A and B are shown apart, each in its own frame.
Chain A
Amino acid sequence: MAMSSSKPARKGKKLKNNRLGYAMLVPATLLISLISLYPLLNGIYLSMFDYNLMRPKKRRFVGAGNFIEILTKDSEFYSTLAYSFIYAFFVVLISYIMGLCFALLLNREIKGRGIFRMLILIPWVIPSVVAATNWMWLLNDQLGFINRTLTGMGLIGKPILFLAEATTARVTVIFTGAWKSFPFMMITLLAGLQGISKDLYESAQMDGAGFFRSFYYITMPMLKPVTTISTVLMFIWTFNNFENIYLLTRGGPVDATFVLPILSYYTAFLRSNIGYASAIASIMLVVLMILAMLYMKLLKNRETYS
């Protein structure tokens, strides 16, 4: 998301031919309204219906019925909601820690920085289907590299069932999720680090501050704006993400790794219950809107800063 708000040099010096401006917005607006906005509003509309694809003729309006059922009767929804939050929270936390460590390492002036940076970006660019297949192979009970190595070294007696046991699967998908998204964190934090003036560190050093003190008193406060924005943004993306978990566990074992997008997907395309699935997704929308508002507020604060 490139967003540049600082253009004081050209203040008030914008082009006047607004008709051309409107015309240039037309193609994008057309597509967005037809394929994003209309389906979105339609989804909210459908959430008020009892609508099953198996018997489309029997569609009937139930108002808030679906929502009441989800919020009062559906225990599957609440367990899924809880895990969705846990999943997104830990993915963001682990990505942040990993991203910060890498960014600090790469912020040192060493040769071959570009190559290291590229190697770190690999998890982020490879297609999620490929990532999931690779993890399935590495984490395989009998043949996987990790289990074979660990048993070979005598560290574990029997193979770890990474994806077949409820608790381990929940932890595993958090780690693979963080693995896929931490490069983004690293890049943004690295850019943030590079924006910190070297003079600050030098004067701190002269005052006798060691690495940890200057990290705590200079690096962390200076990174705060980048940190807040990129963590909120990544939380939203992770909360919305369907593929990372689905491709690895399909939401299983049983439904241990269900998150809201998977629950809504299954409700719609397996149980064909379009209305109920839309209601689940609408509740997600509310959660995300709150987060999005937080994000916008953080962005605004930044703008007034600079």
Chain B
Amino acid sequence: MAANASSWNPKPNRKKILLDILTYAALVIIIFCVDLPFISMFGTALKGRSEALSSPALFPAEWKFDSFGQVLTGTTFGNNIFNSAVVAVTVTVCCIMFAVCAGYAISRFRGVVFNFYSVFVLLLQMFPGTLMMIPLFVIFKNLNMVDTLYSVMFAYTTLNLPFSIWMTKGFFDTIPIDIEEAAQIDGCNQFSGFLRVVLPISMPGISTVGIFTFINAWGEYTLASIFLRSDSIGTLTIGLQKFVLQYTSDWPALMAASCIATIPTLIFLLVAQKYLIQGMSAGAVKG
């Protein structure tokens, strides 16, 4: 259509092409600046130690993967990654289960409790984390849960719940209730209708919630730094911080560790970009 238009109306079209080129140029330049920390992380991780200190270039003359090997075999970082994976997966599964139930209840049932609950959940995520962090530390200490992965698992699941409940509620709201009524006529009770009919349709929404939760749990630092104090139990953010303090001059190793910590979130971003954006914009726009 554009080619067609140019034959009889060349002026606006030329203007459009010029604007497109400017848009691309602007996007490429700004994105380079925005992703600079990220680009330099990969570049530095592939450099040798002496090259990182001497050459200011973003990428090395020759790619070396030594730093990755050094990080994975010579340190406890592998252990930290394993801990983080266990925590993030457990938290994601639990959070989805609880959020789906609560979100469904708020979306489908009428009554003061359900109305109140949605407001309550919304307010909950605005409270200062530091205020509950202190008593939570005291509680976990009394329960002998400090220095166990259970402490962060419980904490992350709970802290991710309000947001996840809101999201799932929003997705259930878009599913017509008639579908369930039809299922009930076919002999499902309400709960099995929810399991067999509603859940399968809402898989996209549920996976968004899962991705959000996973990214949050994978990269959380503050609570982990308080609850996980011994070396063997640390999650990857703790391991990385320890690195920063210990190997201040070994930048390639630090950057290699950072790369490893980033890769899972990048994969999630790639796979779930569309859902992620839907979820992010849902709150402010759908209103």
Task: Give the interface of A toward B (CB within 8 A).
Answer: 1-7, 9-10, 13-18, 20-22, 24-25, 27-29, 31-32, 34-40, 42-44, 46, 101-102, 105-106, 108, 110, 114, 116-123, 125-131, 133-138, 143, 145, 148-149, 152, 179, 184, 187-188, 190-192, 195, 225-226, 229-230, 233, 236, 240, 242-243, 246-247, 260-261, 264-265, 268-269, 274, 277-278, 280-282, 284-285, 288-289, 291-292, 295-296, 299, 302-303, 305-306
Distance of A102 Cα from B258 Cα, bound (Å): 27
Instruction: Give the chain B neighbours of A269 by CB distance below 8 A.
Output: 137, 226
Out of A32, A188, A240, A285, which one reaches B124, CB within 8 Å? A32
B30-57: CB near A (< 8 Å → 1, else 0) gives 1100111110110010000000110010
Instruction: Give the chain B neighbours of A110 by CB distance below 8 A.
Output: 20, 23-24
Q: Check B31–A131 contact: CB distance below 8 A.
A: no
Q: Check B240–A190 contact: CB distance below 8 A.
A: no
Distance of A20 Cα from B198 Cα, bound (Å): 15
Q: Check A128–B219 contact: CB distance below 8 A.
A: yes
Q: Check B269–A118 contact: CB distance below 8 A.
A: yes
Known A125-B215, A145-B58, A281-B130; contact A28-B102, beta-carbon cutoff 8 A = yes
Task: Give the interface of B toward A (CB within 8 A).
Answer: 19-20, 23-24, 26-27, 30-31, 34-38, 40-41, 44, 52-53, 56, 58, 97-99, 101-102, 104-106, 108-111, 113-114, 117, 119, 121-139, 154-155, 157-159, 161-163, 165-171, 173-174, 176-177, 180, 190-191, 205, 215, 218-219, 221-222, 226, 236-237, 240-241, 244, 251, 254-255, 258, 261-262, 265-266, 268-270, 273, 276-277, 279-287
Instruction: Give the chain A neighbours of B110 by CB distance below 8 A.
Output: 14-16, 18
Known A35-B154, A127-B237; contact A40-B284, beta-carbon cutoff 8 A = no
Q: Check B131–A32 contact: CB distance below 8 A.
A: no
Instruction: Give the chain A neighbours of B138 by CB distance below 8 A.
Output: 42, 274
Distance of A152 Cα from B134 Cα, bound (Å): 48
Instruction: Give the chain B neighbours of A299 by CB distance below 8 A.
Output: 287
The closest CB in chain A to the CB of B172 belongs to A4
Question: Could you list 17 A-B pairs, sorted by A, with CB under 8 Å?
Answer: A1-B122, A14-B109, A18-B111, A22-B113, A24-B104, A28-B165, A39-B139, A110-B20, A122-B266, A125-B265, A127-B219, A130-B261, A137-B254, A138-B37, A187-B280, A268-B137, A284-B131
Instruction: Give the chain A neighbours of B31 by CB distance below 8 A.
Output: 116, 119-120
Q: Check A126–B287 contact: CB distance below 8 A.
A: no
Q: Check A4–B41 contact: CB distance below 8 A.
A: no
Q: Check B131–A282 contact: CB distance below 8 A.
A: yes
Known A2-B171, A134-B40, A268-B134; contact A118-B270, beta-carbon cutoff 8 A = yes
Q: Check B40–A122 contact: CB distance below 8 A.
A: no
Instruction: Give the chain B neighbours of A229 by CB distance below 8 A.
Output: 283-284, 287
Q: Check B109–A3 contact: CB distance below 8 A.
A: no
- Listed from nearest, the 6 A-B pairs whose CB atoms lie closest are A2-B170, A127-B219, A1-B283, A21-B109, A191-B281, A134-B37
Q: Check B284–A31 contact: CB distance below 8 A.
A: no
Q: For chain A, what secondary structure do more than half of its interface residues adopt (helix, strand, loop), or is it mixed?
A: helix
Out of A14, A127, A133, A230, which one reaches B108, CB within 8 Å? A14
Instruction: Give the chain A neighbours of B161 by CB distance below 8 A.
Output: 28, 31-32
Known A7-B173, A145-B56, A261-B129; contact A46-B24, beta-carbon cutoff 8 A = no
Q: Check A10–B114 contact: CB distance below 8 A.
A: no
Q: Shortest CB–CB separation between residue B67 and chain A, in angstroms? A: 13
Distance of A34 Cα from B117 Cα, bound (Å): 16
Instruction: From B132, B221, B258, B273, name the one whose CB has the most chain A CB atoms within 10 angstroms.
Output: B132
Out of B40, B165, B177, B219, which one reaches A138, CB within 8 Å? B40
Q: Check A9–B98 contact: CB distance below 8 A.
A: no
Q: Check A133–B281 contact: CB distance below 8 A.
A: no
Q: Shortest CB–CB separation between residue A33 and chain B, in angstroms? A: 9
Q: Check B130–A120 contact: CB distance below 8 A.
A: no
Out of B168, B170, B261, B277, which one reaches A127, CB within 8 Å? B261
Distance of A190 Cα from B237 Cα, bound (Å): 32
Distance of A40 Cα from B125 Cα, bound (Å): 12
Instruction: Give the chain A neighbours of B127 by CB distance below 8 A.
Output: 36, 40, 285, 288
Distance of A44 Cα from B131 Cα, bound (Å): 8
Instruction: From B174, B191, B268, B287, name the one whose CB has the most chain A CB atoms within 10 angstroms.
Output: B287
Out of A2, A105, A280, which one reaches B23, CB within 8 Å? A105
Q: Shortest CB–CB separation between residue A241 and chain B, in angstroms? A: 9
Q: Check A133–B158 contact: CB distance below 8 A.
A: no
Known A15-B108, A15-B177; contact A28-B101, beta-carbon cutoff 8 A = yes
Instruction: Give the chain B neighbours of A27 by CB distance below 8 A.
Output: 97-98, 101-102
Instruction: Give the chain B neighbours of A119 by CB distance below 8 A.
Output: 31, 34-35
Instruction: Give the chain B neighbours of A138 by CB distance below 8 A.
Output: 36-37, 40
